Structure 1
């Protein structure tokens, strides 16, 4: 295996791989070079925005020349062509390239108070950065190209060995990963050209793999499962945010038309090379680049997925997490099998329980103290997902004591978030319960604690370098209990990791034996519960937890015999006279909808007007 075919290549090879014909844009004088090495003021933010608007209206114009007409030293190589222009409600996004230079990129984005951006010219390996000072004056200065495209630094090759890649241990799916969210669980013959992690979200990141596909079939011997995993890893790493990671161009184009500032794109290319992405290009059409590297010794889905998560991080505005012996790319902490995804994730390729997370530079040798989660949430205005368990819910325990991952799962969405599940033991009980992180390339380290009614800690679990929590044959006396799940930590933040980015989905599976008080049968949105039956004149109740901000919740039952009627209510169990919605026709096929539902637990009551069997019960939150 040749090192030059591993994921990244030295920067001088990059332009050769993507070389295009270069058009002359005029000579550059020594005075020009001196000028750009120092900061050149362009004028106020409004002047720049007005100049960009004028160039958008007249593509032959130059926004730079229009605002610096009196400056005889205006540099022709800074002239740009605008390909995408968005200015709405005071928010700006402009994308393009150096005038007449295909192998280049240009962006400016911001608002009427401050704009920033860059111009990159791969033909000359030069970059120019635009910024706004405290007085609202926009200026441009030449910077090292690696400041704008961090992964053009060839130190990565020095910090990574072929053995690391060849011995890579791929993640293993938890048996509890059962599509609790669209991106969770093994490939199941989905159309890999239409994958979406959060359908309907206004924030969209597009993984454009059209260049490595022939229709819906991957090229180069890559399987659909590989392509699924590449998408899945990116969806895992960004699952705490309300952003739809998609491979569907129609979804991306619709979101881009609505608000380009809420979108991003990275392009798969059918070449070997060093993957890279321009810093802070989310909110524009300036794309990152993912090279295929089929001979580099790692699985396409796993390797390309990790690389995509890293490069998308650059597009969100994050620089490398540096330190240790890895220099530009921190190599992680082997004792805890942890490292930052913006470091060198390949240095831990042989760790069986590796966790690669966002970081804020808490480890000892850190030199980059950027708060990754804040950058995405505040700087790029990407919202967190809604807390799925804000005030606790009942643990779903079947009549035989089984605790199923289908009905018992959740998500730790933010640093310090906790999810509580309550249950009651009326006699003596024995709990066997395992709690797994269920995302393929997840970040969650599960910490679980059980408290009694007095608030005293009964038991806790956070398995070292394992990421799961487990209670085995735990004896419980009669009483009320609360299971609290949180993001875990190991070691210390300086030598280990904190719960800063211990985020993601988990599920629970096990049993509670002994005499217990039946709990609510909690439905999973969109997943039917089958095989229900009851005798004439009786009730059966089911529940579903509805987060804030949902548009509707649809309740339905479906059966071919008897006469089952449907009633729903918020917080309390419904009756035939007290309900939010009902459907009580002459068959066992019923449906009703609650629009703009308040957040909380909704109960679905099925009244058996005439005995029924083989009934399906479902609730779908939209």
Structure 2
């Protein structure tokens, strides 16, 4: 079907057809009495609803009185109807302070009408026969942070807000991904966590910025950290958390159902967001709240992550003394991000994750990760270590965080790193989560060649793992990293949402030098040689969002051929790109490379010497 984006003037467009359908369904001013209707009212077929909202006529809003309608007449501002996917956004005709949206397919629609001033809400759903129905629901179901219980929960946490212990960057956080590491003079209006992803969530900071300068004495670093918190909480998904309006607009034009937006507001207030509004132009609202003692980076970031969670379809995690907002488990410094994250603001190693209600006072058993991945169709990122990697150890035994990092992307994901010890070895190694406000609790185990665990670490209430002066006899070993858990799910947390980036740093005495040499982007490695029929391997790590990686070799004699591959070493028949001419001057390019370790293999078709090997990440 042809895609339509309808941007109308202030007078809007009255939807006569939908009004008539609602009237026929018996939705009158009587139905909007004080009691909330318990019986759904049929509106019409999915096709009828879509057509009535898409094919409208503009009329003067003064031409007829809204009072004579049923009060649910709709003014539509955006329509997306393409390839069977539908997203429609607008407001109630009789209220500027209202929200209306439907989304789904040409077979099934769901959505809400929200009247903020009167605090009334109506839910739309589709039955098995393709009939769209509407029923009035409590507004707290649709806009969860309107609930009056929020006030007591927030008051209880106020004392901890001003004394909050803010996250501290790991020394290992060195831009392994765009959102990792301290602020480094980036343009805070152009931030992107996963450049190039078609799934985009826009943090619209326009109202709290003057050009590229934050208002209200807020620093650029504050703004960066607010974005960084949200990027960390959603990093397991292939969704680009951005402050760049152009990136959002392009993604919205391509497929609005893959986008969302939350608007920063330059005043104090209670932040809120419409449930399941991702995939529409219905935005969340994020107030600045400096008078509440919020640290703008940490506090606003956590609030944004929580409200974006509502837009993704997640309700509050209840239970315990926190009631509507579960307060977490202090013994493990853990809680759900959809609970009251401020209750643990003075925990030094706080861990706030997605939840499926495993704790013992839970009353909400929604599977947060499934809601985002299945209900909202946001894909997980690709596994960056599906079949194991060699631990990168330089010639002096140093294990560095720029060469040794990864991401636990899904529940139960494991990342393996192999290494060999000759003689008697000694390992000193620390593995840190490296996202600013991440969800990962690191669990690490070391296996020998008999697949026996020889050492393990998951530091209690300290999200890192560490091996100190670990003696290892000669042999082959495998370091396995996964998301950790503490206590029991009923009183503690599982590895359900123990997800995110990690990096490691340390030394290994007695290690066999790595088979491959790790290259620095754009820096040639000279004086390489090889015999006829031999392979020499090199590696380079490519972060997310790069446009290309170019491999090259340059020599004056012999015939060296060039092959590259992602994750595993290339062969003459398995490669991402190759160049195998009759000389030792070769180059090949991988465009739009996936993130991960690329191996460059040099094959000696005939013997060569004096070769320079280079890989450049653009």
TM-score w.r.t. structure 1 length?
A: 0.85
Aligned to 2:33: 33
| 2:267 is aligned with 1:271 | yes
Tell me which residue corresponds to 1:528. Answer: 521
Equivalences for residues 229-240 of structure 1 within 5 A: 229-240=225-236
> 1:564 touches 1:610 (CA, 8 Å); kept in 2?
no
Which residue of the partner structure matches residue 189 of structure 2?
193
How far is the alpha carbon of 1:153 from its aligned partner?
A: 1.2
Q: Distance in 1 between matches of 2:157 and 2:487?
A: 27
Aligned-pair CA distance for 1:344 = 0.2
**Cα offset for 1:529?**
6.9
Q: Shift of the alpha carbon at 1:604? A: 4.3
Asked if structure 1 preserves the Cα contact closer than 8 Å seen for 2:539 and 2:597, the reply is no
CA distance in 2, matches of 1:154, 1:253: 35
Tell me what 1:340 maps to: 336
**2:88 matches 1:94:** yes
Unaligned stretches of 5+ residues in structure 2: 1-9, 12-18, 20-26, 62-66
5 Å-filtered alignment, 1:152-163, equals 152-159=146-153, 160-163=156-159
Q: Is the 8 A contact 1:432 1:472 kept in 2?
A: yes
Q: Establish whether residue 135 from structure 1 lines up as the match of residue 129 from structure 2.
A: yes
Matching residue of 1:477: 473
Shift of 1:554: 2.4
User: Structure 1, residues 537-559: CA drift from partner, whole Å, max 9, x if none?
Assistant: 79963124789x99986234699
Provide Cα deviations, 1:245-302, integer angstroms capped at 9, x if missing partner: 0000000000000000000000001010000000000000000000001122231010
| Residue 50 (structure 2) aligns with | 49
After alignment, is 129-138 or 277-286 more displaced? Answer: 129-138
Q: 1:596 to 1:152 in 2, by over 3 A?
A: closer
Decide whether the 8 Å contact of 2:390 with 2:419 is kept in 1. yes
Deviations 1:17-66 (A, max 9, x none): xxx99xxx9x97446538972432112222212222223xx24499xxxx
Q: Does 1:226 align with 2:219?
A: no
User: 1:98-137: per-residue Cα shift (whole Å, max 9, x none)?
Assistant: 1152211100111133211111112222111112223332
Contact kept? 1:446, 1:486, Cα under 8 Å? yes
Deviation at 1:509, TM superposition (A): 0.5
TM-score (norm 2): 0.86
Q: In 2, distance between residues paired with 1:492 and 1:398?
A: 40
Taking the aligned partners of 1:585 and 1:287, their CA distance within structure 2 comes to 59
1:462 to 458, 461, 464: 458
What is the aligned partner in structure 2 of residue 11 from structure 1? none
Alpha-carbon deviation of 1:594? 4.1
Deviations 1:442-497 (A, max 9, x none): 00000000001111111000000000000011111111111100000000000000
Q: Residue 482 of structure 1 aligns to a residue in which SS?
A: strand
CA contact under 8 A between 1:280 and 1:315: conserved in structure 2?
yes
Q: Indicate conservation of the 8 Å contact 2:29/2:71, yes or no.
A: no
| Counterpart Cα distance in 2 of 1:408 and 1:579 | 22
Query: Residue 582 of structure 1 corresponds to which residue in structure 2?
Result: 579
Q: Is the 8 A contact 2:542 2:617 kept in 1?
A: no
- Deviates further, 269-278 or 555-564: 555-564
Match of 1:9 in 2: none
Could you tell me whether the CA contact under 8 Å between 2:516 and 2:536 is conserved in 1? no
Q: Residue 6 of structure 2 aligns with which residue?
A: none
Counterpart pick for 1:568 among 543, 560, 563: 563
The alignment status of 1:439 with 2:438, answered yes or no, reads: no
Which structure 2 residues correspond to residues 482-501 of structure 1 after superposition, within 5 A? 482-501=478-497
CA shift digits 1:49-94 (9 cap, x unpaired):
2222223xx24499xxxxxxxxxx9953100100000111221100
In 2, the alpha carbon distance for the partners of 1:202 and 1:49 equals 25
Any unmatched runs of 5+ in structure 1?
Answer: 1-19, 63-72
- How much is the aligned-residue C-alpha RMSD, in angstroms? 3.5
Deviation at 1:190, TM superposition (A): 0.4
Question: How many residues were matched structurally?
Answer: 578
1:147 aligns to what?
141
**Tell me, what secondary structure is at the counterpart of 1:161?**
helix
